Each structure stands twice: as structure tokens, then as C-alpha cells.
Structure 1
Amino acid sequence: MADFKYDIVEHLGVLSENTKGWTKELNLISWNGAKPKYDLRDWGPEHEKMGKGITLSNEEFEALKEIISNL
């Protein structure tokens, strides 16, 4: 597996936490030094491990907000 770097630029919020201390979080993350994107995924305590997640550009995030607001 290739190495990659990430920087949590801004922690936006925690959606939930499980009994093992993992949290589902929304953050702005810069992957490999690129422009930060919205990122939704599970994180282990102290952010030492991460689960699978999704990343969204600003445009995708705005589209998602609009979809949710119309529910």
C-alpha cells in the first residue's frame, strides 16, 4: 500500500461514538498536501487509525447540503 499524508485542517464535528471510542467525524482534511476537502469517516481514539470514508469537494458538499435541506 502506498504511503500517504493527511492533515486535519479543521475539525467540524463528531456525529457519533461507539463503545470502543471510535468516532464518526466530519473534518476538512488535506490529503498529500492538496487543497482541503470535506471528509466523513470513522477515527480511532487520538486519530491514530482511520476507517473507510468519503471525501467531498466544496461543490459536492454544497450539493449534499441542498439535498439534505430538501428532505
Structure 2
Amino acid sequence: MAEIKFEITEQIAVLSESPKGWTKELNLISWNGREPKYDIRDWAPNHEKMGKGVTLSEAELEKLKDALK
């Protein structure tokens, strides 16, 4: 399986925290050297592991924001 490289370019918000210390976060992340996108997913402490999540472009994030109003 190919290694996935990522860089958290901006930590925007911690949305929740589990009793085990994992946090659900909204971040701007560059995946495999590409332009950063908004990302919501669970992270282990110190970001050494991650859970499944969803990645959104800025336009998709704006549509989500409008839908939640």
C-alpha cells in the first residue's frame, strides 16, 4: 500500500475529544504535496494516527456552511 504523506498547514478547530484522547478536528491539510483542503477527521494524540474523514474544497465547505444555516 502506498504511503500517504500529509502536512497540517493550519489547525482550525477541535470539535470534540474522546475519553481515549482522540480528537475530531477541522484542519487545512496538504495531501501528497497538493494544495491544502479542509479536512474533518479523528486524530490520535500528537497526530501519530488518524481515522477516516472527509476532505472538502473551499467551495464545498461554503456550501456546507450555507446548508447548516
TM-score strictly above 0.5: yes
SS of residue in 2 equivalent to 1:46: helix
Q: Structure 2: give runs of 5+ residues left out of the alignment.
A: none
State the number of aligned residues.
69
Give the 4+ runs in structure 1 shifted more than 3 A: none
What CA RMSD, in Å, does the superposition of the two structures yield over aligned residues? 0.5
Residue aligning to 2:32: 32
1:19 equivalent in structure 2: 19
1:20: how far off?
0.5
1:58-69 equivalence runs, <5 A: 58-69=58-69
> 1:25 is paired with a residue of what secondary structure?
strand
Does the residue aligned with 1:7 lie in a helix, a strand or coil?
strand
TM (norm. structure 1) is 0.95
TM-score, reference length from structure 2: 0.98
